[in-house]
Amino acid sequence: MTPEERLAELGLSVPQVAAPVAAYVPAVRDGDHVLTSGQLPMREGSLLATGKVGGEVSLETAVECARQCALNALAAIRAEVGELSAVTRVVKVVAFVASTSDFTAQPQVANGVSELLGEVFGEAGVHARSAVGVPVLPLDAPVEVELTVSLA
């Protein structure tokens, strides 16, 4: 089963690549790796939520935002290489979580990304990861995600 078929089985699809909000490209291929730029939780041109996790944004909403960021990163990867079946391994995930100073569940927010990648890529979706709390993200997004993947 291809990654796109697994996504369809989950009731999900890879969206169109979102236009960058500044002077950069959504993804860059370097040899047998693709590195994505930070992906925000955009769906159909709008952020799913704004604000700080632990404040205006609940943990559950932040996890949903993280999953959308992952889908957007997959869109950037697919646009760069043609199809997600070219991905042989998810190497690294970096999740930035705009959170209140007392919020410490950034790893649970990042699980939204990690669990989705595991469902889509199986063993090849197991990766190294960082989950970082930050004071603010672009456009007041609660979550931003970067992926690095290996290709066949």
Q: What are residue 147's DSSP bridge partners?
A: 93
What's this model's pTM, rounded to 2 decimal places? 0.97
Q: Residue 52: which of 94, 114, 105 has the closest Cα?
A: 105
Q: Which domains does the chain have, with CATH numbers?
A: 3-151 (3.30.1330.40)
Which position has the token pair 């066949």?
152
Task: Give CA–CA dist 152/142, Å, rounded.
Answer: 33
Q: What is the pLDDT of residues 73-128, one digit of tens each?
A: 999 999 999 999 999 999 999 999 999 999 999 999 999 999 999 999 999 999 99
Contact 103, 54 (CB under 8 A): yes
pLDDT of residue 152: 85
Is pLDDT at 63 greater than 90 in this prediction?
yes
Helices (H), the chain: 3-9, 59-81, 106-121
Q: What is the pLDDT of residues 27-45, one digit of tens each?
A: 999 999 999 999 999 999 9
